[in-house]
Chain A
Amino acid sequence: MTGLLSADRLRLYRGDRCLIRDLSFALNPGELLLVEGANGSGKTSLLRAIAGLLPLDQGEIHWRGKATRLHRQELSAEMSWLAHRLGMKYDLTLVENLRFEARLRGAKWHDQESLLRRLGIDRLTRLPLRALSAGQQRRVALARLILSASGLWLMDEPFTNLDVAGHDLVLELVREHLRDGGLCVVASHQSFDIGAPTRRVTLQ
């Protein structure tokens, strides 16, 4: 199988339970991989394995034709991970957090007012994230995802805590990302149609 991101016969155990058995897929620019399944079926584990946070028991993931097990840096330089947890400091403000993320990637931080306005968080820049609602925190995490300018987005339940407008916003962002030639892996328990080439994986 060939693709920018490809997986070959992945197998993943948690404890003595086999979560993923012989899963293969290939993903090319502009394509979405939708990981579906009930709670506890291993969606997050699969995403963590793709990201490299969880070692696979068998199989290999390739990014640009190279095994990610050996060439970790090349994937992480082009990947962003939107997890359950915020992944930012609750005591810092939105701008302080995003500025840190930019510095970590060696990029210059400049004012991102239009992006923040689009995400509906432009009025919250002076507050520590602790003071924001769960949905607003989620929007801040989306801002980080976009600012990272990565080719591959890994999104774990991106709709959690978001209102209807936020739900549509996520779909729109993903659609734009795919149109720009990005890749996206979304784990979600709810199915959705995005109008882009979509591969589906259903975990039992």
Chain B
Amino acid sequence: MTPAEHDGSDLLAGFSAIVRRDLLLAWKRPGDALNPLVFYAMVSTLFPLATGPSQQQLLLNGPGVLWVAALLATLLALNGLFVSDYEDGSLDQLILSPQPLPLLVLGKSVAHWLTTGLPLVLVSPVIAMTFSLPTEITGILLLTLTLGTISLSLLGSIGAALTVGLNRGNALLSLLILPLAMPVLIFGARTVSLAVAGDATSSGVYFLAGYCMLNLSLAPFATAAALKISNE
């Protein structure tokens, strides 16, 4: 195959190939994908038990707790993003494949979000009920969490790529990613709080959407560059 044959459909072929492979892998090892979800559900349901059932307090803390739990759950799942590929040598093959690496990396991030981010978003309305958050905010909760977890998956892939060769990269990964994840946490939690209070939420949603687009367009390139360095 010569490089000239690489037209658009071919690029998409590599992208969809890796998404399908990673989804198949997640299907065969459901524990890895369920772990963050269980963590998320546990933290956010334990919290009301610890702080007491005062509805005022739950309404005040609910959005913040949901978002912190979502952030930590996503970080928990990120560590393994490239580790297994690194260990079994698949990473070499991906880097050497004729497909552009940023696109393959984006495919991995998409699969990662579908297996960890999306389930987390989907259970959120149920968990929001334990904080007695009004059902009217379900829409805004789903929207902000969707945008936020996509950003976190993409940002996390940069950190995962930088720490892939290290033995205990987990702590370092969190340290690298947290500063970049702060805007997501601040705007996400604040927007949901505003929605609970019945205020306008569009500015927060716009910020999260913009940040998501920024990550979507830049993170794959940063991740690809980091992978090449880590894999030397």
- Residue numbers of A with Cβ under 8 A of B are 51-55, 73-74, 76-79, 81, 83-92, 96, 100-101, 103-107, 128, 149
Contacts and interface: CB of A to CB of B under 8 A. Distances in A.
A54 B14 contact: no
Contacts of A77: 1-3, 6, 98
A100 B21 contact: yes
Contacts of B90: 87-89
A86 B85 CA distance: 10
A78 B98 CA distance: 8
B88 A106 contact: no
Given A85-B89, A89-B88, A105-B98, A53 B231 contact: yes
A73 B103 CA distance: 14
B138 interface: no
A90 B231 CA distance: 20
Given A73-B98, A89-B21, A106 B89 contact: no
A86 B98 CA distance: 19
A5 to B, nearest CB: 15
* B-side interface size class: 20 to 34
B88 A90 contact: yes
Nearest to B86: A85
Nearest to B84: A89
Contacts of B214: none
B232 interface: yes
Contacts of A105: 1, 97-98
A104 B17 contact: yes
A86 B231 CA distance: 16
Given A76-B98, A88-B90, A54 B1 contact: no
Given A53-B232, A106-B13, A79 B96 contact: yes
B93 interface: yes
A53 B87 CA distance: 15
A87 B93 CA distance: 6
Contacts of A107: 1
Given A87-B89, A106-B10, A73 B3 contact: yes
Q: Chain B CB within 10 Å — which of A54, A79, A88, A104 has the most? A: A104
Interface of B: 1-3, 5-6, 10, 13-14, 16-18, 20-21, 24-25, 28-29, 84, 87-90, 92-93, 95-99, 231-232
Contacts of B28: 91-92, 128
A183 B231 CA distance: 26
Given A78-B1, A81-B92, A104-B13, 18 more contacts: A52-B96, A77-B3, A81-B96, A85-B88, A85-B89, A88-B93, A89-B21, A89-B84, A91-B29, A92-B24, A100-B21, A103-B14, A103-B16, A103-B17, A103-B20, A106-B6, A106-B13, A106-B14
A86 B14 contact: no
B204 to A, nearest CB: 39
A100 B17 contact: yes
A84 B89 contact: yes
B18 A106 contact: no
29 contacts: A51-B92, A52-B96, A53-B232, A73-B3, A76-B97, A77-B3, A78-B1, A86-B88, A86-B89, A87-B88, A87-B92, A88-B90, A88-B93, A89-B90, A91-B28, A92-B24, A92-B25, A96-B21, A100-B17, A100-B18, A103-B20, A104-B17, A104-B97, A105-B1, A105-B98, A106-B5, A106-B6, A106-B10, A106-B13
Contacts of A79: 96
Nearest to B7: A106
A81 B90 CA distance: 11
Contacts of B13: 103-104, 106
